[in-house]
Amino acid sequence: MSDCIFCKIIKGDIPSTNVYKDEHVTAFRDINPVAPTHILIVPNKHIDSVDVMIVDDEPLIGHLFTVAKELAAKEGIAEGGYRLVVNTGAESGQTVFHVHLHLLGGRQMRAMG
């Protein structure tokens, strides 16, 4: 999508602090972090949200989680624990409509529910 900020970051049109990139995924530091480690892990293929994913996207989405695990280890937060978040839709807080995984860690997180 030509107006998607994440697509522009993936293409290199907008600068970012990349921490990982391969043919399927790009990961970069969030510009408004909510934790000491806050990395966005984004598929290079544009997918608006979880609601429009198809069965063929399953390997790609699984790869996001594998990259998250590797980055958590690299960032030194794997042992203490980390949170992975995917927001879907405006009411969930999704502000960029390109599927992405938030990797959060480096501090004590509050329990959810």
Q: Which residues are catalytic?
A: 100
Q: How far is CA 47 from the centre of its chain?
A: 13
Q: For residues 50 and 53, what is the distance between their CA atoms, to the nearest angstrom?
A: 5
Please, are residues 83 and 104 in contact by the beta-carbon 8 Å criterion?
yes
